[in-house]
Structure 1
Amino acid sequence: MASFSAAVLLLQIFVCFEAVVGAALQKHSNSISPGTSLTPITQPNSWQSPSRRFALGFYQQGSGFLVGIWLVGASQNITVWTANRDYPPVSSNAMLEFTTKGKLLLRTGQSEDRSISTTASASFASMLDSGNFVLYSKDFVVIWQSFDFPTDTILGGQILPNGHSLFSSFSETNHSTGKFRLKMQYDGNLVAYPASTEDISVDAYWTTTLSYRRGCTAYTRCRDTLNPQSHLDLNSSIYLNSNGSLLLINNTDSTTIQSLSHSSHSNNTVVHRATLDIDGNFRLYSHPSVNSEPVIEWKAIDNMCDVKSFCGFNSYCTLNDNKPYCSCIPGADFLDHDQQSTGCERNFTKLTRCKDGKKNEFYDIITMDNLKSEDRPYYEAEMTKDDCSKSCLEDCLCDASISKSGYCMKFMLPLRYIMRQSSGAEYSSSTIFFKVGTKSIRSNNHIPPYPQLVVTTSKKALMIILVLCLSLVTYSCFALAFSGLFIFKHRVLKYRMLLETGSSGLIEEFTLRLYSYNELRKATNGFKEKLGQGSFGTVYRGALYKGKKLIAVKRLEKVVEEGEKEFRAEMRAIGRTRHKNLVRLLGYCAEGSKRLLVYEFMSNGSLADLLFRAQRRPDWTERVRIGLDVARGILYLHEECEAPTLHCDIKPHNILLDEFWTAKISDFGLAKLLMPDQTRTFTQVRGTRGYLAPEWQKNIPITVKVDVYSYGIVLLEIVCCRRNIEVNVLEPEEVVLSNWVYKCFVARELNKLVGGEEVDKKILENMVKVGLWCIQDEPVLRPSMKSVVLMLEGITDIATPPCPTNSSM
């Protein structure tokens, strides 16, 4: 470790020397003193370097502002570094402050402040001509610098050390994390990957010329933890010197291992930068002067179709006049025709139930040559080309297959890495087969002619026709009379039933019916069929109107003060609500000490049964819809009904599913009603362990944010299909769901949460972010349910959540 530290110190000697000298020369003319601040709309809105080539301050992104460093250009400024790049932009009343305590802090103008520097106690700061923003101690020692935290760019004099990565921007105007990353690996190679992948060779699309395969095999992680003492040649970094040479250097002795590009400029006024661009290509640019456009000095990739994930899932790249274009595989269409790099999806419905070899009449095979796929097949065997095509057609799992050199490989969608090969390439002799859907059209081309009637004029024939006509008339009269009697009787009985059930029909939509105890006991067959057990009562299945209307009857078993409060609370809370995501109350019984509630029947049970007890994991799109249904129901209780209502017991057992699998919130026995202008209240602890917000134990006012916390736990359970606390897990860190989710989120390993299930990664990330925001310890950090619904619908951007503190209640 000592030799490694000495090597890194040697690598950074140029940067540190420049910083110290710059401080000594600029302390009086260009230094930034503690207590200095910037705002987005007040000039000056940036701190500039002495040459005015670089500036740090606010730049506009969308309707808001971010803090970053930019290179002043002729036509537009070029952003080279962004602070807190994945946080949402701030408003115009934000402030960037170099505090009196020596810390660089972004005050957002809202409840939270964002730290930019990771240290404090700086005596002064300076924006250097190298593009490096530096904080100094009183002894001119660098205690923090932007060069240590690159985003998508390294500048002249900057290094990218072992284990560090560059991440491309999302777009030219959005500098949040994009689709690609470039990592300086511990195996000595600089390697480019799609951003959402792991460090395995099958995902890499560009690397330096060292032995990249050392320590790596396809579908296995590269050995990033090799012993530096036994592999000193792997202790390397990428260094862009001030002359514009991009070098792979040995950290031990600062010698050059490989030169990626040679400088063509000896003028120190030329600015150089190496950027991982939004298209995934790593390019070296030079900027001769402020008034000149940037010049590409070097680029890693000549053929942009070599960039994996350039075209997204189920699509491949084609060059036309040396420009890359994306095309969908057969049987798929673009997700967004305006942004074709986002990928494609099937344009036909795949059979959910299929028996191998029996449903191939619904599919066809389309053959394409000179394509390859670097995805991992689920099946591989020796097979002829014709047998490979036929085998995929008859295999229910197969969506595509490749035949090459006598081998057949089968794949399932989505396909990530499909590429077109030029003539003479390694895969040019391969053939790929795509399974597409067909529409079965059945037609009758042969219609037998009507038989011809043989007409005679004999008396016998006339007599037969007369008898048939009389019989037909008699039968018709009898049928009309019988039908009239049946219709009359049916209408009379229906009208009589409406009179008997007085509260049905339109009246039932607006009023609660009062039932007698005997009526409900008869409807439930003596409370025979039990549906579930609650905290204050038991729910039974019942039927009214001769079995035509199914109901659920909740009998409160504690009829003393506690049960009476339960009964009155539920009556007040749900009796006045009308929302498709709330279970509807039909009526009640208050006869002596007996208290019963009558609800609409929910035929598909509870969300807990679906998530925790079902034989198979529910479909991802169903889980996404259920999560949004529950959020809309809570939003109605908090903001849209007559009196704001705290449910106080949001959990999967209290979320029921109707015959159309619509999620509805039930069990309002613990609900707390607020006045129309009331936002908080004091009340005793209520709810279920594991879903309780931390403030229940702190003797502080309770707000609607307690429901937001419970919803966050439920949302994470919906995503992962497991309980919040699970003892029977493989790793100890997986016991508490919220802790495990945050660790996977930070490590960019969200695929572990869904067990390899095929899901939309963007929606998965959004749901995880929303869940983590909802379970923050401090109520003020939790979003409102209105914000939750907007974030889940994709209308509002979601900031990166901080680590929640799990109360384990």
Structure 2
Amino acid sequence: MGSGLTPKAGPIMAREVLNSNGELSVYFWVNNNNWGLVWFQPQSICGVYGVCGAYGVCLIQENILSCSCVQGFHPRNATTWTSQEWWSSGCVRRTPLNCSTDGFLQVTDKSLSDEEAVQYSQQSTLLGCKTACLNNCSCTAFAVSNSNPVVCKLWFGDLLNMQAKATSSEGQPFFIRLAASDASQLSAHAGRSSNRVVALSVSISLGLALLSALFILAWFIQRRRRRLVEKFVKDDTSTWLRAFSYKELKVATNNFALKLGKGAFGSVFKGTLLDKSLVAVKKLEGFVQAEKQLRLELSTIGNIHHANLVSLRGFCVDGCQRMLVYEYMQNGSLNSFLSRKSKEEDWETRFGIALGTARGLLYLHEECRDRIIHCDIKPENILLDADFSPKLADFELAKLVGRDFSQ
């Protein structure tokens, strides 16, 4: 179905969307008149087959895709490549191959998919694997695995789905076939660059030796921990979640003036965003525990959408502050509803609360891509919206289990 369709109330509606970059998404129509994303593949745009074309290298930085050519290659169409259009046209060698006289360039800062490799187990040495590839004019790359036993892997034809690596130590290096002149030139340049890096590293090490080793170690651990959390937030959270700053939420909650409640992992405050929508802001406490809790709730409620689950609007990772922003539930918890001394609600309302709660649990247990066990279902964790529709909340003790997990 097209994205412009607005179905009427009735059976559950779903649609699949295949966009221009090869991503397939599945949406369900939910009660609040919105399409909710429930499944998508691939998880990363770099996983789309041939997204950067032959001999193109895929890189994602701050959720922005870029493509480059591997060493010894240049864009097939320089005009469209410069304008960031039709990256899928890929790259071509600077110098044509000459089969038996070709050379190989070692590549350590990129990864190559094993799915298209042919295992050539008869060769267990680097030299033997290189000879096997050189003797076949269709062989374009080879690599020797670090496994036991050692396996020689050969690639034939154009190389696709190469990805840039964060560091050269990740994964195993591979060797790409180039004309002998290009291979020699690029190998020599890489050697000179390596020597400069070594000399610079020695100089820096001597300078840092004057500082306190304990101070450096403590700083490094704290900095690395913060970067891991921020990277997780950027890479693994749903695209509909908003990243709030601490200042925004401080203004929205009037400096956290109105507390709605307090749980084991932090306090919840009422807030009003700039668009006048009401939210509940959970301020997580304890730096280590806050990071753990942030990861848990983003990986559970942050990646699913259902009419009977409380909606996560966004999050805050700002310095030492860790917060989660939810939709505001006007009628509070089921516990408050049951303890009211006013006139009891009619049977239809009570039945709707029970049925909605069961639907939320069914979705978590059976319909999610990864099953979620809430582990803390009680009246305090069942919230009611303006229409007394129940929504499960507080996924603080939730567990993610696989599809093969036994009931």
Give the TM-score of the pair, scaled to structure 1: 0.21
* Higher normalized helix content (fraction of residues): 2
Give the TM-score of the pair, scaled to structure 2: 0.40
Question: Bigger relative contact order, structure 1 or 2, given CA contacts below 8 A and separation 6+?
Answer: 2
Larger radius of gyration: 1
